[in-house]
Structure 1
Amino acid sequence: MVAAVQQDRFLRFGAVAEMIGLSRSTVWRMEQEGKFPKRVQLGSKSVAWRQSDLNAWMSAR
């Protein structure tokens, strides 16, 4: 039997804002202070956050 591997999802800012209720500028400031998960560069003009990182951050709060 093969174990199922759960893939991490990448969430764009709209989904992140809906999930955590913070503004774009607050998220940016908290990232700079090391108080929020770092974004991942997906392309030259595209960023997202790992859902697992956000879940861990919310659990730790």
Structure 2
Amino acid sequence: MTLSKSQKTENNRLIRRKEVQDKTGFGASSIYAEMAKGNFPKAIQISERRVAWLESEIDAWISERIANRKVTNAQLEAQI
């Protein structure tokens, strides 16, 4: 999925874990487990004890899940 220039600018902000959880439906432990496996965008260290994620990377991750679902559904329908 290609984002327009205005969408890239809008989503080029840092979001904290709570917002990531709200957007993805993941709990904190799932976020960190998926990050460790390389299946989720890495957090950015913003201070000694704070991390955040780029909203655009989280949105892209969500879009990939949706696209994969559509492909899987189309493949299943083709088998019927």
Tell me the TM-score range normalised by the shorter chain: 0.7 to 0.9
> Using the alignment, how far apart are the partners of 1:56 and 1:19 within structure 2?
12
1:6 to 5, 9, 13: 9
How much identity, in percent, do the aligned residues show? 31
Question: Paired residues, what number?
Answer: 58
**C-alpha root-mean-square deviation of aligned residues, in Å?**
1.5
Residue 52 of structure 2 aligns to which amino acid in structure 1?
A
Gaps of 5+ in 1: none
Q: Shift of the alpha carbon at 1:48? A: 0.3
State which structure, 1 or 2, has the greater radius of gyration over its C-alpha atoms. Answer: 2
Which one scores higher on RCO, CA 8 angstroms, separation ≥ 6? 1
**What's 2:28 paired with?**
24
When you count strand as a share of all residues, which structure comes out higher?
1
Q: Using structure 1 for the length normalisation, give the TM-score.
A: 0.87
| Large movers: runs of 4+ above 3 Å | none
